[in-house]
Structure 1
Amino acid sequence: MATTIDNPKRARQLARAIASDLTLYHEAKILDGIANDSLFDVMKEEIDEGRELFQSRVTPDIFEQNIYDRAIVDVLVKSKGHVKSPIW
């Protein structure tokens, strides 16, 4: 079993890796969700699954820092700023 992460930097790396995997495997769904302002609805299941994975790998203190949610915004949303969308 993997060691539980208690270092914020390592936790950010893990969160960004999970978010990057979501982008890699669900690019079309993400683009559609951003274009239609429904990203968090169409990706709910995948985002929640990633959150559960992240939570299982980090300490409770680290999980409470919202590192995973920030990675989702940075990787899934900010990196798609070029997509035409009513949200910006």
Structure 2
Amino acid sequence: MARRVEDPELAFRLARAIVSDIALYNPDKVEEGIKNDNIFDLLAEELQEGREHFAERVSETLENRDQLFDRAIVDVMIKQAGKIESSIW
């Protein structure tokens, strides 16, 4: 088995890359989810798959591992969607 990522900065970069791929392959869901404030419902399956992939690649001993993935979702998917009309902003 390959070594797992133990560096928090590398783990965060991995999380951002995974979330970027999800956003890249699901632009309609991202736009609709931002517009209707249900992005987590619309992308639940994709985000869960991404989270599982992240967990497989990152050491369980890394502090705040789950928060790194959540922060990547906000940084990559939510902040970059600021140009989309929505009642949430």
Fold match (TM-score > 0.5): yes
What CA RMSD, in Å, does the superposition of the two structures yield over aligned residues? Answer: 1.2
Q: Which runs of 5+ in 1 are unaligned?
A: none
Q: Distance in 2 between matches of 1:19 and 1:41?
A: 15
For these two proteins, the number of residue pairs brought into alignment is 88
TM-score by structure 1 length? 0.93
Q: Which runs of 5+ in 2 are unaligned?
A: none
In 2 relative to 1, CA 9–76 (structure 1 residues): closer, same or farther, beyond 3 Å?
same
Runs of 4+ in 1 over 6 A off after TM superposition: none
Q: Distance in 1 between matches of 2:54 and 2:62?
A: 10
1:77 equivalent in structure 2: 78
Q: Percent identity?
A: 47
1:37 equivalent in structure 2: 37
Query: CA offsets, 1:22-81, max 9 Å, x none?
Result: 111001110001001110010011001100000000011326331011001111100000
TM-score by structure 2 length? 0.92
